[in-house]
Amino acid sequence: MPYQKKNILKLYNLPKKVKFCKSCTISNQRPRITFDKNGICSACNFNLYKKKIDWKKREEELLKLLDKFRSKTSGFDCLVPSSGGKDSGYVAHILKYKYEMNPLTITWAPNIWTDIGFKNYNGLVDSGISNILGKPNGEINKILTKLSFIHVGDPFQPFVYGQANFPLMMSVQYNIPLIFYGENGEVEYGGDLKNAHKPTKGLNDDKKHYFSNHPPKHCEKYQIKKKDLDFYNAPNIKKINKIGSEMHFFSYYHYWDPQENFYYCTKNTNFLPNLERSEGTYSKYASLDDQLDGFHYYLMYIKFGIGRATSDSAHEIRDEKISREEGVSLVKKYDGEFPKKYFKVFLKYIDMNENEFWNIINSWRSDHIWKKEKKNYKLRTIIS
Ligand SMILES: [Zn+2]
């Protein structure tokens, strides 16, 4: 069945001419990113600003916040949404052992756990951090994943609903208002800079940034019952306000460096990197938990020409781990590599054949990113 080609330029409000940042490897096709007149992206500019921040002062702000919420009894006093990965694992562990808080980690289960992801999840719990695991109805989750792949161009959308909303649900359920996220992805990796100088995120930011303006309610039009979507939804706003839930970014209070988080977690939370690099990139320690991960990144490559190696190298250049030249050659080598390892698993999960899969993929290819040469699609603009 052919699928109608999507208008990516309009859907994501993208510039038609593809340009790459002069300082890192990201392009102007990342939704909401901006470039200055010198051709430098907003994430690189934020990175320069980050280096001038008085981090001692920020830590004092953190201490004030923690003292306000610190439990006087033995109860949990903050929530850390975490899969057991290096970033959230670092936040939970440091809050407990350096700042003497009593964090409860909240995990929204991956669609299909990888062995390494499951080990790291248990590793964090075994390092002394309690956890609540939320796992949605498997039958519904498969249907939602399929619908999201077809209609949103990202099979990860239902996972993102839970990732964003389940912590709020638990905040209300357990009466724990303080929620700690790791980094503010929008400012660290390029996006909306509205919250660049704020420690908190607003309740509606998720809808705009991560739900692609496609909140769970949209699934009702595909005959998914409201009661089957409840677990993916945020709690009622009145309940959130009654508790006074606050979502803070740890990256506002502490200099954020994913590689340093990795070193910290290998020492402290039993974190293990993968034995082999993730498909589509060169790294072994980021986003390892879900067998379907690769398809989220692959769709990003199809829609925006931005693959996993681009995202990884862009922030590693900013963090001064690699040079731009090294980044460019890593992008050329790995970006867009097809996630074949779990391809059959993915097709089975969403009950689809290969032919239909490629029809959907091609419906998300935009002519301003791709050209067809003979039978192959090629990127129009290559980084140099
Ligand atoms: Zn840049």
pLDDT digits (tens, 9 = 90+) for 12-34: 999 999 999 999 999 999 999 99
Indicate the pLDDT class of residue 93, thresholds 50, 70 and 90: very high
pLDDT digits (tens, 9 = 90+) for 170-192: 999 999 999 999 988 778 887 77
Contact 213, 207 (CB under 8 A): yes
Q: How far is the CA of 191 from the centre of ligand 1 (A)?
A: 11
Residue spans of beta strands (DSSP E) within 314-366: none
Average pLDDT over residues 365-378: 94
How far is residue 158's CA from residue 141's CA, in Å, rounded to a whole number? 7
Task: Quote the pLDDT of residue 287.
Answer: 75
Q: How far is the CA of 351 from the centre of ligand 1 (A)?
A: 39
How far is residue 210's CA from residue 160's CA, in Å, rounded to a whole number? 7
Q: How far is the CA of 63 from the centre of ligand 1 (A)?
A: 32
Average pLDDT over residues 215-229: 79
Indicate the pLDDT class of residue 210, thresholds 50, 70 and 90: low
Average pLDDT over residues 237-256: 93
Task: Quote the pLDDT of residue 208.
Answer: 53
The values of phi and psi at residue 166, to 5°, are -65, -40
Q: Maximum distance among all alpha carbons in the chain? A: 69
Average pLDDT over residues 302-330: 96
Residue 207 reports pLDDT greater than 70? no
How far, rounded to the nearest angstrom, does the alpha carbon of residue 173 sit from its chain's CA centroid?
25
Task: Quote the pLDDT of residue 184.
Answer: 84
Q: What SS3 state is found at 13?
A: coil
Q: How far is the CA of 21 from the centre of ligand 1 (A)?
A: 5
Q: Which of 81-90, 206-215, 255-264, 343-352 has the lowest mean pLDDT?
A: 206-215
Q: How far is the CA of 49 from the centre of ligand 1 (A)?
A: 13
Average pLDDT over residues 93-114: 96
Q: What SS3 state is found at 49?
A: helix
How far is residue 22's CA from residue 20's CA, in Å, rounded to a whole number? 6
Indicate the pLDDT class of residue 206, thresholds 50, 70 and 90: low
Average pLDDT over residues 126-137: 96
Indicate the pLDDT class of residue 212, thresholds 50, 70 and 90: low
Q: How far is the CA of 199 from the centre of ligand 1 (A)?
A: 23
Residue 73 reports pLDDT greater than 90? no
How far is residue 69's CA from residue 305's CA, in Å, rounded to a whole number? 43
- Amino acid of residue 197: H
Q: What SS3 state is found at 79?
A: strand
Residue in 249, 260, 268, 266 with CA at minimum distance from that of residue 98: 268
How far is residue 43's CA from residue 33's CA, in Å, rounded to a whole number? 8
Residue 265 reports pLDDT greater than 60? yes
Q: How far is the CA of 180 from the centre of ligand 1 (A)?
A: 27
Q: How far is the CA of 327 from the centre of ligand 1 (A)?
A: 12
Residue 304 reports pLDDT greater than 90? yes
Q: How far is the CA of 236 from the centre of ligand 1 (A)?
A: 38
* Strand order through the sheet with 130-134: 130-134, 103-108, 78-81, 178-181, 246-249
Average pLDDT over residues 128-151: 95
Q: How far is the CA of 320 from the centre of ligand 1 (A)?
A: 12
Q: How far is the CA of 33 from the centre of ligand 1 (A)?
A: 10
Q: How far is the CA of 178 from the centre of ligand 1 (A)?
A: 32
How far is residue 215's CA from residue 236's CA, in Å, rounded to a whole number? 14
Q: How far is the CA of 2 from the centre of ligand 1 (A)?
A: 37
Task: Quote the pLDDT of residue 170.
Answer: 96
Q: How far is the CA of 301 from the centre of ligand 1 (A)?
A: 18
Specify whether the backbone of 148 is left (phi greater than 0), alpha (psi in -120 to 50) or beta. Answer: alpha
Q: How far is the CA of 10 from the centre of ligand 1 (A)?
A: 23
Task: Quote the pLDDT of residue 195.
Answer: 72
Residue 1 reports pLDDT greater than 60? no
pTM tops 0.75, yes or no: yes
Contact 302, 154 (CB under 8 A): no
